Structure 1
Amino acid sequence: MGRKKKEIKMKEPVRIREKRLNDGNVSLYLDIYYRGARKKEGLKLYLVPEVSSAAKLQNANTRKLAEQIKAQRILDIQQQGIVNWEDVKKSKMTLSAWVEQYTTEDCGLSPASMRSKRNAQARVEQYLLHIGKPDLALTEVDKDFCKGFIAFLKTCTFNNGKKTLGSTTCRIFVNRLAAALSKAVRDGLIDRNPFKLLETKEKPQKANAMREFLTIDELRQLIATPCRYDIVKKAFLFSCFTGLRYSDMMTLKWSEIHKAADGKTLYIEHEQVKTKNRVTIPLSDEALKWMPRKAKDIDTVFHQLRITSTTVEVVLGEWMQEAGIQKHITYHCSRHTAATLLLTLGADLYTVSKILGHKSIRMTEIYAKIVDKKKIETMNLVNNMFV
C-alpha cells in the first residue's frame, strides 16, 4: 500500500490580524500577501473588552464584518492583483458595507447615539432594497439618490406598517448618512459628498416644535397628588427643579453633590450623558425636598428608579390624569418646565443656559419665546373686560 500523499494547503492571501491598543481595545487589520507583494490595510474596526453581553454581541458583529471584507479582498486581488489597491477599494466598496463599517465605529458615543446610528443604517438598507439596488457601489451614490432617500424616509413605515417616521427622526437619519459620506470623502473613497449638492429647502428642516411644560399652578397640583410609584414622583419633580434629563437622573451620584463656598448651599457637578458637557446646578430648597435618603454603600441617588423608561412614562400619564392635567407630559417635559420656570421667575438667559448645559444660548432662547408668548396670552385676558 503506497504512502498517503501529503495534502498541500494553499496559504490564504488575506488574513485578519489583531493589534492591542493602549485603551484596552483591539484594532483589526488585513495582512495581504500575493505573488511576492505585501500590503496591510487598516479596517478601522475595533474589538472592545467583553464585559457584558452587549459587548460580546458587538464584537461578534465586528468580526463578521471583518470576515466579509476579507472575503471581498480575496476576490479583488485574484481579479486585479494589489498593484492598484486603492483604486480597487474605491470601486468595490458598496454603500451598504461602508455604512455598516461607519456604524460599527462607536467613537465614544453614548448607547442612545449608537442605537440611532444602527437605526439609520437599517433605513439605508431598507431604501436600497426598495429601489432594487442592495449592492449599490459607494461611488454611485449621487444627488438623485440622496433626494430619493429623503423622500423615502417621509413615507416609509415601521411597526408592521402602523407608524411613519417623524420629521425629527427623518432629519437625524439623513444627517447620519451625510456624516457617513463625509467620512468616506475624508478616507478618499469618494470625491465629494452628494448631500452637499442639495439646496437647503431639499433637506429635512428642523422644526421649532412647541415644548410642553408645566406651569407653577400645575406643579402645585402635581405636588398635592399621590403617584403610584413615589420614586417616579420624586425623580420627576427633582428634574423640574434642576433641569436634569432622565438619563442624568439614572446616573446621578451622591459623590457629585458638593457644598458651596458658603458652607450651606449644595450643588450638583455632573457630566451629562447625552452631550458629555459638565454642568453645575445649585440645589434649591424645593429640589432638596424631592431627593431620596442616602442608602448605605450605594452611590447612585435615584437607585430605586429601576423600572423601565416605558413604565415611567405610563406612570407619569396616570399621575397627570389624577392631577387633572390634560397636557401630554413626558419625562423630558420636566426639563422644559425647569427652563420656563426659571425664566418666568426672572432668571437671565445666560444663567439658564449654563444650568441646562446648552452648547449655545440659541437653544435657551426657544424657552424665552415660550415665556413671552404666555405673558402676551395672560395680558390678553383683560381684553373686553371693561367694555
Structure 2
Amino acid sequence: MGRKKKEIRLKEPVRIREKKIAGGNISLYLDIYQKGLRKKETLKLYLVPEINAATKLQNANTRKLAEQIKAQRILDIQREGLVDWDKVKKSRMTLTKWMDDFVKYNAELSESSMKTKRNTHARIDQYLLHIGKPEFLLKDVDKEFCKGFITFLKTCTYNDGKKQLSTTTCRMFVNYFGSSLAKAVRDGLIEQNPFLLLEAKEKPQKRVAEREFLTIEEIKKVMNTPCRYELVKKAFLFSCFTGLRYSDMKALNWSEIHKAADGKTEYIDHIQVKTRDRVTIPLSEETKKWMPKREEGIDNIFHNLTITSTTVEVVLKEWMEAAGITKHITYHCSRHTAATMLLTLGASIYVVSKILGHKSIKMTEIYAKIVDKKKLETVNLVNGMFDQIPVIQ
C-alpha cells in the first residue's frame, strides 16, 4: 500500500491578525513576512461587538476591506519583491495620526501656542466625526475638505452649545491646520497644501480689532486710584512702561535685569514666552517705581502674584471703574499703552518695534496709525472755536 503524500501548504506572506483593545473592540492589522523580514502594518480598522444586524454588517464590511488591503500587499510583494514600507506608511497615514505628530512637533512653543495646536487637533477630529469619516486619510485632504472644515468652524459651538467660535479663533484654527499641511508637504506625505488653492474670500477674514489703550492723562488717573490688589496695580503699570505681556511679566526674573556699560542704566534682557525671541528693554526711573522689592533667595520678580489671570482681569475692571475709565481695559491693553505712549512722546517706530519684540515693523505701524489718528482728532478740536472772531485781511 502506497504511502500517502504529505500535503505541502505554502505560507501566506500576508496575514490578517486581530488584537483586542479597550471597549470590547478588536483592531485589525497585517502581519507581513517575506525574505526573512517581518513587518506589522496597522490598518486602523476595528471590529465592534456584534449586538445586532447592523454591527454584524459593519464587521463584515470591515473584514472585506481588510482582505482587499491584504490582497494588494501580496500583489506589491509579487511585483516589487519587497514592499516599499515608507510608501505604505504614507498612503495609510490618517489625518488624525498626522495631527498627533504635528502637535508633538516643535513642542518648545509657548503653552498658549501648544494649547491652540491641541484645540485645532480637537476641532479637526470633531469635524471628521461630523462628516462620519474618523479614519480620513491625510492624502485625501483636498480643497473641498478645507472649505468644509472652515464652514464647520463657523457653525460649531462650545460651552454646551451656548457660544460660537469667534472669527479670530476660527482664523487661528485654520492657520494651524494650514501649517500642519505645509509641514506634510515638506515631509513628502502629500504633494501640495490644498489651503493654497483657496481664495482669500473663502478663508476667515481678519477683523481689524480696536486696540484700547490708556492715554498719559488716564495713566495718571489710575496711578492715583487705589486697587484692591496692589500687586496687580504694580504689574499692570510695569507693563505699561515696558510693553511686556502678562506671560512675560510673570516669568521675569531679577537675574534678567542688567546694568549697561555706563554702570547706571538698567535694562531687561528677556526671552519672550510667546515667541521665544529676545527683547532688550531699558528701565526708566518711572518703571522701577512699580517693581516689587527684591526678596532674598527669590529670583522671580512678581512671584507673589498668585491669583489667576481671570481674577486679574476682574480686579483690573474694578480698578478702572474706580478711576473713572470707561474703556474696556484688559491686561494686554498695557502693551498697547506702552506702544502708543512711546510713539506719542516721539520715539521712533523702529525703537518701539524692538522694545515690543515685533518680528515685523508692520505690526508696530498699527500703533503709529492710532497715534496719527489721535493727533488729527486733537488738532480738529479747534474747529468752530473761533468762528466769531473776524479775520483781519
Q: Does residue 236 of the first structure (1) align with residue 231 of the second (2)?
A: no
Displacement, 1:270? Answer: 0.7
Please, what TM-score do these two structures have when normalized by structure 1? Answer: 0.80
> How far apart, in 2, do the equivalents of 1:100 and 1:279 lie?
32
| Secondary structure of 2:170's aligned partner | helix
> How far apart, in 2, do the equivalents of 1:269 and 1:259 lie?
10
Gaps (5+ residues) in structure 1?
1-11, 15-31, 42-68
- Kept in 1, the 8 Å contact 2:44–2:135? The answer is no
Q: How does 1:11-160 map to 2 (within 5 A)?
A: 34-38=33-37, 72=44, 80=73, 83-160=83-160
Displacement, 1:149? Answer: 1.0
The code of the aligned residue for 1:342 comes to L
Q: Does residue 211 of the first structure (1) align with residue 215 of the second (2)?
A: no
Instruction: Quote the residue 1:295 is aligned against.
Output: 295
Instruction: Quote the residue 1:182 is aligned against.
Output: 182
- Kept in 2, the 8 Å contact 1:89–1:189? The answer is no
| Secondary structure of 1:248's aligned partner | helix
Please, what TM-score do these two structures have when normalized by structure 2? Answer: 0.79
Q: How does 1:307-326 map to 2 (within 5 A)?
A: 307-326=307-326
Displacement, 1:176? Answer: 0.9
Q: Deviations over 1:204-244 (max 9, x none)?
A: 23332121100111101100111111110000000000101
> How far apart, in 2, do the equivalents of 1:165 and 1:226 lie?
36
> How far apart, in 2, do the equivalents of 1:355 and 1:135 lie?
47
- Kept in 2, the 8 Å contact 1:102–1:180? The answer is yes
Name the Cα RMSD after superposition.
Answer: 2.4
* Cα separation, partners in 2 of 1:86 and 1:232, compared to 1, 3 Å: same
Q: Does residue 254 of the first structure (1) align with residue 254 of the second (2)?
A: yes
Displacement, 1:35? Answer: 3.5
| Secondary structure of 1:267's aligned partner | strand
Displacement, 1:33? Answer: 7.4
The code of the aligned residue for 1:184 comes to A
Displacement, 1:180? Answer: 1.2
| Secondary structure of 2:212's aligned partner | coil
> How far apart, in 1, do the equivalents of 2:350 and 2:374 lie?
20
The code of the aligned residue for 1:382 comes to V
> How far apart, in 2, do the equivalents of 1:35 and 1:237 lie?
70
Q: How does 1:344-359 map to 2 (within 5 A)?
A: 344-359=344-359
* Cα separation, partners in 2 of 1:346 and 1:35, compared to 1, 3 Å: same
Instruction: Quote the residue 1:330 is aligned against.
Output: 330
* Cα separation, partners in 2 of 1:384 and 1:192, compared to 1, 3 Å: same
* Cα separation, partners in 2 of 1:37 and 1:99, compared to 1, 3 Å: farther
The code of the aligned residue for 2:122 comes to A
Q: Deviations over 1:132-152 (max 9, x none)?
A: 222222122111111111122
| Secondary structure of 1:217's aligned partner | helix
| Secondary structure of 1:268's aligned partner | strand
- Kept in 1, the 8 Å contact 2:222–2:320? The answer is yes
Which shifted more, 372-381 or 205-214?
205-214
> How far apart, in 2, do the equivalents of 1:359 and 1:243 lie?
15
- Kept in 1, the 8 Å contact 2:227–2:233? The answer is yes
Structure 1 vs Structure 2: percent identity of aligned residues? 65
Gaps (5+ residues) in structure 2?
1-14, 18-30, 47-65, 75-81, 388-393
Instruction: Quote the residue 1:382 is aligned against.
Output: 382
| Secondary structure of 1:269's aligned partner | strand
| Secondary structure of 2:242's aligned partner | coil
